[in-house]
Amino acid sequence: MLRVGVVGLGYAGTTHLTSFAGIPGVQVVALAGKETDRLALLGAEYNLPHLFEDWEELVALPDLDIVSIATPNALHHPIAVAALAAGKHVFCEKPLALDTAQAAEMVQAAKTHDRVLEVAFNHRRRADVQFARRYLETEGIGRIYHSRATWKRRSGIPGLRSWFTSKTMAGGGALIDLGPHVLDSLLFLLGEPRVVAVSAVTHGELGRAGYGAMNRQEQMASDTGSFEVEDLASALFRLDDGSSVAFEITWAGHTVDDEDISIELLGVDGGVRLFVPRYASDDTLRMYRDVDGVAVTLTPEVHVPGGEHPIVIAEFVEAVRGGDWDAHRGDFALHRTAVLDACYRSADEGREVRLES
């Protein structure tokens, strides 16, 4: 039996709790979070013996095998490092950390203490992303020389007065919040090339002006709270395979109907386009190629049932049980954090930033 403690009671924490609780041979025994009513409610519903308001008490529990982190971004690093040092395996929400230095310490802790460190990249588990990857592996589209990857929202700042818009607690805005998913799906589709250089800009105009809140009531309020982060980030990446990526993430913008995610891969012999408006489950993929001089467009009938978190968490549990943990020390997540960190540095310094190899 694997014994799990979950930190966080929001959307992410609740998803972790229900996902772990649904796996045979896994028992959630502890939960931590500040919202005392919700803590008691979930504790009763899932019959949890240990409830805490602070993560430190949960990590100190002697019999835990796994700590699952679903807190504001700034807490990912201290909780993970403490849990790994205490001999627990760690499942962590995206982003792995606020910056490269923190992420590298977490990966090192997983290696030093010989434990698994895995990050919740649930978007790559979408059935359409998985199908596109299989198509690229089996059919191919020739050399992919350029890609475009975006997540755009009309009005999707998660909370104008919450930790999400605090630089200290979140590390950034739209880029560090939505960017990890798009970047992860893109690098997965491309077969894990490395990003070697980035040139980025960020803007926080709409949030500072009081526009763009996901909750429209907040938007109408005169005090929009402190908005210390960006609501738009746009970047050009250079990859080690010689290809390039145009990458753009917005929490808010006046040219989007609602919300959409898109990834376009431009190959010499064909192309792949994933376009997901409003979290659509169907008709999200197009494959383009040229057959005997005739333009052909494929429209695969791939349905996305949703619920990708349970799949990622089941894979994490499988990795823990597998016992061969070297491929599960958070290295992929470290690279993603390094890319986003480089984007922030590039935007701050107004120049291209190269990533250390």
Ligand X SMILES: NC(=O)c1ccc[n+]([C@@H]2O[C@H](COP(=O)([O-])OP(=O)(O)OC[C@H]3O[C@@H](n4cnc5c(N)ncnc54)[C@H](O)[C@@H]3O)[C@@H](O)[C@H]2O)c1
Binding site for ligand X (CB under 6 A): 7-13, 32-35, 54-55, 70-73, 75, 93-94, 120, 122, 177
- The side-by-side arrangement of strands in the sheet containing 259-267 is 294-298, 285-291, 270-277, 259-267, 144-153, 244-250, 232-239, 195-203, 353-354
**Cβ proximity to ligand X, 33 vs 212, nearer residue:** 33
* Closest CB 75 distance from ligand X, rounded Å: 6
**Cβ proximity to ligand X, 13 vs 207, nearer residue:** 13
Residue 215's nearest CA partner among 161, 146, 266, 144 is 161
Cα separation values, 123 from 60, 130, 188, 344, Å: 32, 10, 11, 23
Which residue has tokens 């790994």? 84
Nearest residue by C-beta to ligand X?
10
**Cβ proximity to ligand X, 140 vs 159, nearer residue:** 159
* Closest CB 111 distance from ligand X, rounded Å: 23
* Closest CB 202 distance from ligand X, rounded Å: 18
**Cβ proximity to ligand X, 30 vs 353, nearer residue:** 30
Take residue 311 and report the two structure tokens written for it: 């799949």
Radius of gyration of the chain (CA): 21
C-beta contacts of 14-20 below 8 A and 24+ residues apart: 14/42, 15/70, 15/309, 16/68, 16/70, 16/91, 16/309, 16/313, 17/42, 17/46, 18/310, 19/309, 19/310, 19/313, 19/314, 20/66, 20/68, 20/313, 20/317
Amino acid letter, 265: L
**Cβ proximity to ligand X, 19 vs 100, nearer residue:** 19
Under DSSP, the state recorded for 301 is -
E strand or H helix at 248, and its extent?
strand 244-250
* Closest CB 73 distance from ligand X, rounded Å: 5
* Closest CB 126 distance from ligand X, rounded Å: 11
Which residue has tokens 């049980």? 321
**Cβ proximity to ligand X, 37 vs 349, nearer residue:** 37
**Cβ proximity to ligand X, 122 vs 234, nearer residue:** 122
Distance CA 135, CA 89 (A): 34
**Cβ proximity to ligand X, 33 vs 267, nearer residue:** 33
Report the Cα–Cα distance between both ends of the chain, in Å, rounded: 40
**Cβ proximity to ligand X, 10 vs 140, nearer residue:** 10
* Closest CB 25 distance from ligand X, rounded Å: 24
248 bridge partner residues: 150, 234
Cα separation values, 341 from 40, 175, 300, 335, 344, Å: 37, 10, 36, 10, 5
**Angle separating helix axes 100-112 and 76-85, nearest 10 degrees:** 10
* Closest CB 167 distance from ligand X, rounded Å: 15
Residue 109's nearest CA partner among 82, 142, 140 is 82
* Closest CB 162 distance from ligand X, rounded Å: 6
* Closest CB 324 distance from ligand X, rounded Å: 25
* Closest CB 39 distance from ligand X, rounded Å: 8
**Cβ proximity to ligand X, 35 vs 283, nearer residue:** 35
